[in-house]
Amino acid sequence: MLLDTFSLDGEVAIITGAGGGLGRELSLALVEAGGKVAVVDVARVSGEETVQEIVEAGGEGIFIKADLTKGHEVKKMVAETAKQFGKIDILINNAGTVLGKPIIEVEEDEWHSVMDINLTSTFLCSKFAGKYMIEREKGKIVNISSNAGIAAATNQSAYCASKAGIISLTKCLALEWAKYHINVNAIAPGYIRTALSASALDNDKIASVLLKKIPLRRFAEPKDIAPLVIYLASKASEYMTGETILIDGGHLSHL
Ligand SMILES: NC(=O)c1ccc[n+]([C@@H]2O[C@H](COP(=O)([O-])OP(=O)(O)OC[C@H]3O[C@@H](n4cnc5c(N)ncnc54)[C@H](O)[C@@H]3O)[C@@H](O)[C@H]2O)c1
């Protein structure tokens, strides 16, 4: 049946940055679709809150603390997930950060930090979780890029470049791993109401300027993004790989 192809019954997922606004919503969606979830974040309190919500919803989840910019921590996190759940079917590379500064003011360490958290973590998690997927010749990887990885945004150079890098890495992973039946796709959301975007979206003046550029005339809520991620994590998207799907209320669809 068609709807059965969206089911994640018995599937094991790793989701990074799962203590954050989008990560928590996606974790709950993965569980609702039938999956078991390793909730990964560098922030323990918010990560454990996500697990608590999963358990309250009747699902199965564990928290694993890891700084995903460090290869040895990623390797340990992936091994722990496989040990606890016996396999890894799905990886959602969602952890991220933002930096709002004119290029001329961006310090070298700030540039590297954004690249490490957004792009290098996606490489490291894919590399280490990918080993388990390659062994079983089965896997789904969903990378969270941004519409700012496709179009430029003022004072967001490091963020834009890191998110564009994720789109390229998605294609490279998809190309190399298609022979192992591992689908690798990305999504490119516009503004979503979370802590990451709060300084802009909670500012009425900035928000009204931004809203004029969005045909649907509202910012996304995390729940607007979840169905697309479930599609890409499930059998429903079996014939799609290397793709980046915009989900931004029409923001980049017009001049
Ligand atoms: N909010 C938006 O408007 C928006 C738009 C497009 C794309 N995105 C992307 O969505 C993803 C989720 O963002 P969000 O809006 O939920 O932000 P958020 O700040 O609420 O969550 C990000 C999470 O990543 C975690 N994290 C940061 N560095 C980490 C590290 N080194 N190791 C492990 N975890 C780390 C944080 O602790 C946090 O829980 C990000 O990749 C972001 O770029 C967000």
> CATH number of the domain that 226 lies in?
3.40.50.720
Confidence at residue 125, expressed as pLDDT on a 0 to 100 scale = 99
- Is residue 200 in a domain? no
Confidence at residue 228, expressed as pLDDT on a 0 to 100 scale = 98
Confidence at residue 58, expressed as pLDDT on a 0 to 100 scale = 97
Confidence at residue 51, expressed as pLDDT on a 0 to 100 scale = 98
Domain that holds residue 238: 3-193+222-246
pLDDT digits (tens, 9 = 90+) for 3-61: 999 999 999 999 999 999 999 999 999 999 999 999 999 999 999 999 999 999 999 99
* Among 97, 112, 150, 162, residue to substitute to test ligand 1 (most atoms within 8 Å of Cβ): 97
Question: What are the residue ranges in the chain where pLDDT is below 70?
Answer: none
Question: Whose C-alpha lies nearest to ligand 1, atom 39?
Answer: 20
- Is residue 109 in a domain? yes
- Is residue 67 in a domain? yes
191 is catalytic: no
| Total structural domains within the chain | 1
- Is residue 93 in a domain? yes
Confidence at residue 118, expressed as pLDDT on a 0 to 100 scale = 98
* Cβ of residue 192 lying under 6 Å from some atom of ligand 1: yes
* Cβ of residue 69 lying under 6 Å from some atom of ligand 1: yes
Q: Pick the catalytic residue: 159, 180, 191, 239?
A: 159
Q: Which atom of ligand 1 is nearest to the CA of 163?
A: 43
* Cβ of residue 122 lying under 6 Å from some atom of ligand 1: no
Confidence at residue 153, expressed as pLDDT on a 0 to 100 scale = 96
Confidence at residue 239, expressed as pLDDT on a 0 to 100 scale = 98
* Cβ of residue 96 lying under 6 Å from some atom of ligand 1: yes
* Cβ of residue 166 lying under 6 Å from some atom of ligand 1: no
Structure tokens at 204: 């009425």
- Is residue 181 in a domain? yes
